[in-house]
Amino acid sequence: MSYGEVLSKAWQIIWKHKVLWVFGILAGFLGGGGNPGTNYREDYRSTTPDVFGYRLEEWVNQNLWVVGLIILVVLALVLIFLVLGTYGRIGLIRGAWKADEGAVKLSFAELWSESGEYFWRVLGFSFLLFVIFLIVGVALGIFVALGTVMTLGIGLICLLPFLCLLIPLAWLLQVWVEQVIVAMVSENLSIGGAISRAWQIFMAHLGEYIVMGLVLGLGSLVVRIILGIPFLIAVAPFLGSVMMNGGQAFGSTGMIVTIVLLCLYLPVFIFLNGVLTAYLETAWTLVFRRLTGRTAQSEVVDVVPVNA
């Protein structure tokens, strides 16, 4: 497999078929694009006086119905993002596959309609992974906690090499999961069939997957760090107000400036993250095609005969 050909072809596809950017934006809802917001909340908790926590608790006790409504809205948004994100991911795979097979034009309606055929399979596989990871995570947490208590911390030290080993294993698992979904969508396989198919290809080309995973993983990490920098700049006025005014920072000019900057940059971030997601998903689809012996095809142009 030519790594350069895959990387350049992926860019050519998403540049020519910009409808994939839309599906990339939708798929981005599943990608945890809100990491900068997590950092913001951590900074906020560590720099906000206890008086705010008391006021917040008092407000919550007096407005329980509002809290319940917020929880329902959040759950509804999570469900909506899950559906849109799943459709976006499937649409990207279908679009990249068809483009590499020579499709001249891709339409949103066509890709959206085709995605419905695979929706429940992809969603079911994602739910299966969630359950497995939840069980493994809880079991591992209990095991580590018991080992630490029973050995007075010595067990945790002994487990550190094992825990460090989990990082590259989790990374490889993520690459394999990506290929399972591509196999499911591109070859119209069942969940079990896609798992078996992806595992066979993954083990047969492990070295190539590691190289491509490093290239795409490190490249996307650098891009996402760059995309996250404006978030840090945006929250700077509010954090400055917190350090200078403490609990009085809420409603201050610094907070207003931060809200305005976040509102201005958030659409830009969503768009750029969507383009990045479209590129990554397209690249992984092409990796699957190349490692299963499929090559890029010339564009198929319908020739309309001209009557003499």
Q: What are the tens digits of pLDDT across the range 267-306?
A: 999 999 999 999 999 999 999 999 988 887 776 555 445 4
Given the structure tokens 């976006």, which residue do they identify? 88
Q: What pLDDT is recorded for position 35?
A: 39
Q: Report if residue 8 sits inside a domain.
A: yes
Q: How confident is the model at residue 159 (pLDDT cuts 50, 70, 90)?
A: low
What is the distance between the alpha carbons of residues 161 and 35, in angstroms, rounded to a whole number?
27
* pTM (predicted TM-score): 0.79
Encode pLDDT of 87-134 as tens digits.
Answer: 999 999 999 999 998 888 889 999 999 999 999 999 999 899 889 888
Average of per-residue pLDDT across 31-36: 43
Q: Report if residue 47 sits inside a domain.
A: yes
Q: Report if residue 296 sits inside a domain.
A: no
Asked whether 12 and 278 are in contact (CB, 8 A), the reply is no
What is the distance between the alpha carbons of residues 265 and 281, in angstroms, rounded to a whole number?
24
Encode pLDDT of 37-56 as tens digits.
Answer: 434 334 444 444 454 455 55
Encode pLDDT of 179-231 as tens digits.
Answer: 999 999 999 999 999 999 999 999 999 999 999 999 998 999 999 999 989 98
Q: Report if residue 192 sits inside a domain.
A: yes
What is the distance between the alpha carbons of residues 102 and 104, in angstroms, rounded to a whole number?
6
The domain in which residue 231 lies consists of 3-291
Given the structure tokens 């198929």, which residue do they identify? 300
Q: Report if residue 257 sits inside a domain.
A: yes
Q: Which residue has the higher pLDDT, 252 or 3?
A: 3
Answer left, alpha or beta for residue 152, where phi above 0 means left and psi between -120 and 50 means alpha: left
Domain count, the chain: 1
Q: SS3 sequence, the chain?
A: CCHHHHHHHHHHHHHHCCHHHHHHHHHHHHCCCCHHHHHHHHHHHHHCCHHHHHHHHHHHHHCHHHHHHHHHHHHHHHHHHHHHHHHHHHHHHHHHHHHHCCCCCCCHHHHHHHHCCCHHHHHHHHHHHHHHHHHHHHHHHHHHHHHHHHCCCHHHHHHHHHHHHHHHHHHHHHHHHHHHHHHHHHCCCCHHHHHHHHHHHHHHCHHHHHHHHHHHHHHHHHHHHHHHHHHHHHHHHHHHHHHHHHHHHCCCHHHHHHHHHHHHHHHHHHHHHHHHHHHHHHHHHHHHHHHCCCCCCCCCCCCCCCCC
Q: What pLDDT is recorded for position 31?
A: 66
Asked whether 198 and 180 are in contact (CB, 8 A), the reply is yes
Q: Report if residue 301 sits inside a domain.
A: no
Q: Report if residue 19 sits inside a domain.
A: yes
Q: Report if residue 307 sits inside a domain.
A: no
Q: If we measure between CA atoms, which residue out of 231, 197, 208 comes closest to residue 287?
A: 208
